[in-house]
Structure 1
């Protein structure tokens, strides 16, 4: 029988009628309910989860009745977010999935289903996962599910205890991880959990039954307490993990985590929201001690105050409708080719990538280099291997629904350096815009209604 293609895109909504035609077990429940599924029924939820995993990912699942039955849509949407985060912060600045790149992740508290690990390994065949859990029954079922899907050899499994760290690199036998993924216990005690299950103090009751055990659902401090432990461990491990992340059940917890990161000097983070076609919202936070910068659409979303968002990584320069885009491309390439940085330009895609070890476009630097050249003392470029990148960026001349220059911040920790570069490119097109009788406004995508103007050169705009 022909194998179904593996899903690659996030869920928006589920077509239950179409699903019933693909899975016989789900078909029975769907027809029995006349299309009105009862999500308060554990068997309905379990059958739906199994059907989605089978039809969309060709995965088998076996979970006990007294352990959490994971909703596939929000778990998969979290996985696609993490995968995109890893893809977009590749050391070689590749924009998409690189099948040659070796990636190792950690599923903290994998649960009986091992849902995150199953989804990740199914869709990224060259990735390896480490999985942990403190609960023996959940751990044993996780091992069973990985074996059922022939993935046990691509995992490193460790049953932990409450006294072992959440990111136990020494016990996992790895020196570095590319990411962590986690669905933490959401409640601080059993009373809070029961109240939530009944919908107390909410405008609506939960749309689905929860079969999770107390061990899975409860910990001191709830989701915030659990993720705070991950943050505290990250402050020690730092760049031994490229991207730390966790799902969160409350927006307030998400804000507290971001505040904690900022308090401890973390300047590179990402926040996201999961709304896979239901009233139940979940949030995601990821943070890094490295300087690879994710794009705005992954790191920023509109449903949270600006103070909780990381600094924007895209700068837009809109151009007049009658602009000659070939000339605009030539202008950018000519200007950056004269600078003392590593610059590559693809004329077919009108895209370039630049890397610099310092501000090589300001007047002071260029005058000093001119003086050295006259004196025969001009510095030579560092080799690629020796270059310490202070700023890496991608520039694209876009001619879609509107004509614009797009600058993406790929790497770096110095916000002022990034702003200064944007200001330099901005000025290249300022004169042409003024001559067209229009005011030039560069805007950072996702940055709010106010135009973004580099602080270091504000007076010159």
Structure 2
């Protein structure tokens, strides 16, 4: 008898653009390059295996994060004992997901004076990991906020240690937003700023639980593409210490909040109602799937226009991403006279359970093979490199030698534009959540015509939607 529990077509995995998706950190190599990390390495658990570390040793996990940031991202970083130590691959997943939301164009851009993507990091912590990763990976601009003196002090030190990124990152005292401005060496201003202790069980009693999150921290007239947050996941110190196999540190303020993550993210939702037009997307990480379901219901109750979720996987750890917006969703491809850019994408939503990224990728390949294009698939990275050859005239209809996709009327398509002959490009397919796939095209020729590029991509979108998505049968 089949289980009633819904089964995934494709198991969740690390984000495909994450640099560690195909090549996990090589501890032996890192140890040979960094003697300070070598001292933490443990022998392989089985013959032929890789060395590992003691994950319950805070010093070992902190040194791993330091070495990965330095070796793979060119970022100098350190935190004092007891502060929350982030895992680099997991945090990179969040950044890449925001990039997916941005490229999907579900929500149109808001008017921002700067051309750079602008992000607000709620509770950046002493580690300041999201601003450092987002600025180094994508050149985004960040405002990172926090409320404790030690978090603000060390976040600023970490920014100052990376002069090549310092112009992109502002650290802001949430209790005294006017004191932030540029990175400074002086002590935190504002008497409300908390000292930050790992042993303060009464920390959030009284008015402390009403510390500002977004409202009162965002300045008048400020606009952001995103806010992001790694919220306090737990309701108590005892609950936070239930996993003895890992030691990533974390102060009371970073780990615990009355009502746990559900209550904290609800605070963000409440603030988002008052800042609807200040953010393109509001987002947060979620630690428990049960909380995710509650929060999605809450968002629908308050009348958001769009809700998106995803799953972050790193090793045996799973987290979820939650995003919402109050802005009006854009209609895709309203006109071809769009500004020239090197990327374009669309979502396939409402797919049947047996359809996943692999099936869509094979259909993309078949679509272009039907046109006589040169295709080279890379199943490990879920992409197809395509070149439309000089002799191509138009797509062949009902060609009996092509694969199953051409047997569907959906694949019958209009002629490709003459200007596309010889155009190289890449189609990538990303599994978002069950039933949703993101398809993105990247032109490999910077001089190609953007108008023609959008024409063929629109044809691909129409074909895939006609093949995989059931028409609305409602009367």
What is the deviation of 1:152?
3.3
Which residue of 228, 248, 251 maps to 1:181? 228
Shift of 1:53: 0.5
Aligned alpha-carbon RMSD (Å)? 4.1
State how far apart, in whole Å, the 2-side matches of 1:132 and 1:322 are: 51
**2:97 is paired with a residue of what secondary structure?**
helix
Once the two structures are TM-superposed, the CA of residue 263 in structure 1 deviates from its matched residue by: 2.3
CA distance in 1 between counterparts of 2:211 and 2:221 reads 16
Higher relative contact order (CA 8 A, sep 6+): 2
The equivalent residue for 1:149 is: 162
In the TM superposition, what is the alpha-carbon distance from 1:66 to its structure 2 partner?
1.6
In the TM superposition, residue 323 of structure 1 has moved relative to its aligned partner by 5.3
- Distance in 2 separating the partners of 1:300 and 1:55: 41
2:30 and 2:103 map into 1 onto residues whose CA distance is: 30
**1:17 aligned to 2:20?**
no
1:121 to 135, 139, 158: 135
2:41 aligns to what SS in structure 1?
helix
How many Å separate the matches in 1 of 2:162 and 2:456? 42
Pair 215,103 (structure 1): closer, same or farther in 2 beyond 3 Å: same
- TM-score, normalised by the number of residues in structure 1: 0.62
Name the CA distance, whole Å, in 1 between partners of 2:71 and 2:167: 24
Find the aligned partners of 1:273 and 1:193 in 2 and give their Cα distance. 21
Preserved CA contact (<8 Å) 1:62 1:113: yes
Change (3 A) 1:317 1:229: same
CA contact (8 A) 2:234 2:261 kept: yes
Q: Which residue of 1 aligns with 2:325?
A: 288
Q: State which of 225, 231, 234 in structure 1 corresponds to 2:269.
A: 231
- Alpha-carbon contact 2:95-2:134 (below 8 Å) kept: yes
1:61 matched to 2:74? The reply is no
Question: Relative to structure 2, which stretch is displaced further, 279-288 or 166-175?
Answer: 166-175
- What is the CA distance between 1:197 and its match in structure 2? 3.1
Partner of 1:443: 468
Deviation readout 1:410-439 (Å, 9 max, x if unpaired): xxxxxxxxxxxx6xxx5xxxxxxxxxxxxx
How far does residue 113 in structure 1 lie from its aligned partner after superposition?
0.7
More helix by share: 1
Deviation at 1:284, TM superposition (A): 0.7
Question: Following TM superposition, by how much is the alpha carbon of 1:182 offset from its aligned partner in structure 2, in angstroms?
Answer: 0.8
Task: State how far apart, in whole Å, the 2-side matches of 1:44 and 1:322 are.
Answer: 50
Q: Which residue in 1 is equivalent to 2:243?
A: 197
1:16/1:173 Cα in 2 relative to 1: closer, same or farther (>3 Å)?
A: farther
1:140 aligned onto 2:153: yes
Counterparts of 1:26 and 1:233, CA distance in 2: 42
Q: State the shift of 1:275 in Å.
A: 1.2
User: d(CA) in 1 for partners of 2:457 and 2:396?
Assistant: 6
- Name which of structure 1's ranges 257-266 and 132-141 shifts more when overlaid on structure 2: 257-266
Aligned to 1:77: 93
Residue 272 (str. 1) matches residue 288 (str. 2): no
Deviation at 1:106, TM superposition (A): 0.3
In structure 2, relative to structure 1, the CA distance for the partners of 1:455 and 1:237 (3 Å cut) is farther
Mark the runs of 5 or more structure 1 residues left unpaired by the alignment.
Answer: 1-6, 94-99, 199-206, 304-312, 336-343, 352-392, 399-403, 410-421, 427-441, 445-451
Cross-structure match for 1:246: 284
Q: Unaligned 5+ residue runs, structure 2?
A: 1-15, 46-50, 176-207, 333-344, 354-359, 373-392, 398-411, 426-452
Q: Which residue of 2 aligns with 1:258?
A: 296
Q: How does 1:327-346 map to 2 (within 5 A)?
A: 327-328=394-395
1:375 paired residue number: none
**TM-score (normalised: structure 2):** 0.60
Shift of 1:350: 11
Distance in 1 separating the partners of 2:212 and 2:263: 14
Matched, 1:49 2:104: no
- How many residues are matched? 333
Q: Distance in 1 between matches of 2:104 and 2:78?
A: 34
SS in 2 for 1:156: strand
**Residues 319/56 of structure 1: CA separation in 2 closer, same or farther (3 Å cut):** closer
